[in-house]
Amino acid sequence: MAMNVKDTSGIDAPPMCDINTTPLIDVMLVLLIMLIFTLPIMTHAVKLDMPQATNAPPPSVPPEVIDLEIDFDGTVVWNGTVVPSLQTLEAYFRTEASKDPQPEIHLRPDRRAKYDAVAKVLAAAQRNHMRKIGFVNVAEFRE
């Protein structure tokens, strides 16, 4: 820190022309700390299972589509039929998972449905090796 002190002998000293480097050092230290924190995050790798490219032609028969709806009260509807319990739903999943080609599940949860009900249905599908699951939103097409 620069300080200008008057000489007591009565002779005025020339003004001090040094740059105050304290703010520059502060900024550089902050940038160095940010670099130290962000560098490990940038080098962290996330393992993704990407689909493998194949030259096989797409299947000529489109897969069967299963409409699976979840109402606001947690009721699960399989192609228009109410599923009485989660065990019955898992039995449906086991039956459909054994088919070739495997059917697609179009999941339509009600916007007021609890997350827990949707998560249980998705977990049941995953446990029974259902691979083709997609969320479908029809609310924007309703009038």
**Three-class SS state of 120:** helix
- For residue 30, tell me if it sits in a domain: no
Q: How many Å apart are CA 28 and CA 30, to the nearest integer?
A: 5
- Is 122 strand, coil or helix? helix
Question: Residue 50: inside a domain, yes or no?
Answer: no
Residue 135 resides in a domain: yes
Q: What is the largest CA-CA distance in the chain?
A: 104
Q: What is the CATH number of the domain that holds 128?
A: 3.30.420
60: which DSSP letter? S
What's the rounded Cα separation, in Å, for the pair 134 and 52?
A: 20
C-alpha 140 chain-centroid distance: 23
Residue 28, domain member (yes or no) = no
Q: Which domain holds residue 103?
A: 65-141
pLDDT (tens place) for every residue of the chain, 143 residues total: 555 555 566 667 777 788 888 888 999 999 999 888 887 766 666 677 777 777 777 667 788 999 999 999 999 999 999 999 999 999 999 999 998 888 999 999 998 999 999 999 999 999 999 988 989 876 655 55
Which pTM was predicted?
Answer: 0.57
- For residues 89 and 126, give the distance between their C-alpha atoms in angstroms, rounded to a whole number: 12
Q: Is residue 106 part of a domain?
A: yes
Q: Burial level of 31, CB count in 10 A (0-12/13-18/19+)?
A: exposed
* Residue 80 belongs to a domain: yes
Domain annotation covers residue 4: no
Tell me if 7 is assigned to some domain.
no
Element of type H or E holding 33:
helix 22-43
Number of domains in the chain: 1
In sequence order, which ranges of 62-105 are alpha helices (DSSP H)?
86-97
